[in-house]
A and B are shown apart, each in its own frame.
Chain A
């Protein structure tokens, strides 16, 4: 039995009287590709915001590798190993592609370099910078953006911006990578390409992946297990075939 990477227990949050998410329980095993689906407004991104520290949950707890991270700050949670991308792309627009990835590498212990050696530009500074650039290029190669590393990120087409967000998140060396609608706005070819990239990242970097997606073909083609949310509550959980054919789920999507 693979070990549990992320465990969510009774997680819930209310905004005023609105219970955006309630009683969410799920368990994600190591190297699993886990999907979080549901109609608009179901609370999927809210779940991401809670497990990355943007929102503090009102109830419940979540654990990464058995460690309780509930209520920790965003950067602390990132250091512990949860990284994410955004539904509305939030790249550093005025930076080049490679610099976006370099920002992601900021906290990697292997690239620690004292402020003094940076300011005095000692040999160590240049050595660290070079190693960081090499790593950044390697990550960009995986998402297929190595050739475009010196372009400004805002000049990339939409699909490539999404890939760059994945690269930037991957640079923080996460155990759990959360992708918020990675395939949104992509054409079928790009989507197929993205599926390969996601699988490749999982195998190469040993990361577990939690993703939100509306493209059901993408979800059923990629995920081992999914949770379906509607109005903040869990409708169904299980393999995509089982969960997506649940009568409650079909009702929620089609109405009835």
Chain B
């Protein structure tokens, strides 16, 4: 396998992880909670695409429906499961999130069964660049995710709502006293995170068409790891962590001797980074003021 091809593959995988990691990191930054049901929102998005493909057969429409449905799902989960626990112990919120995760997985299994569904989103084929063969889906994934990530960064940096989001993540109490509707901002954050998860689901199905109710489980954990590596709460950190995970994964998979240990290698990176920089690569250092 060509090194260029491996790298491109890694970048495309990594940008998918980055999109999921953004959902974890933004929710953590704003609501100070780990939303372990986030990975399963990807799976729900996958089933929405499956349903649209089976009935209408239009992947773009499928993506649109998945995005809208996941946004509504994210907002509902927050309102029903997490909002009543605002101010409760972090452990209660964490276990609730895990509960929501299983609820989503089991519901999907009840409705769609446990046999994998084949979702051929689109066969994009390959392009040749000189002697290098590039699968088009990697280019599409990479291009779309980067466009979305740039748009998100601009949104957070240059709009009123983005500014309010940063204010809430820095000091919820002070933001509230400046008249910012914290609940509204949390709702928007869940909606954005879930929309990104739907996009990630689309890219994952573009890569491999097999869909089960645990589609989001492993990528969810890996993206969460990526968010922690990058520094949880940091938006550029999540992007960097996601890309790093994807590239490491792609490289490791091409070396036969270590390929079976790919997952182990990815999670070891987390351990090493946390030993050297406990707050993650771009995370804020906690400095005590004296």
Contacts and interface: CB of A to CB of B under 8 A. Distances in A.
Contact of B166 (A74, A92, A128): A92
> What's the interface size class on B, roughly?
20 to 34
Contacts, number: 81
Contacts of B56: none
Contacts of A115: 161
A118 interface: yes
B177 A84 contact: yes
Given A92-B171, A119-B155, A125-B159, A103 B164 contact: yes
Given A54-B173, A93-B170, A118 B161 contact: yes
Contacts of B155: 118-119
Contacts of A230: none
Interface string A102-121: 11101100010101001101
Interface string A56-100: 000000000000000001110011000110100011111100010
Contact of B180 (A75, A83, A94): A75
Given A103-B180, A106-B178, A92 B167 contact: yes
A32 interface: no
* Interface SS of A by simple majority: helix
B6 to A, nearest CB: 36
A131 B175 CA distance: 21
* Interface SS of B by simple majority: helix
A107 B179 contact: yes
A54 B182 CA distance: 14
Contacts of B167: 92, 95, 103, 106
A169 interface: yes
Contacts of B180: 75, 103, 106-107
Contacts of A125: 159
A138 interface: no
A227 interface: no
A216 to B, nearest CB: 27
Contacts of A9: none
A83 B178 CA distance: 7
A83 B177 CA distance: 7
5 contacts: A90-B173, A92-B171, A103-B164, A106-B178, A172-B178
Interface of B: 154-155, 158-161, 163-164, 166-167, 170-171, 173-182, 284
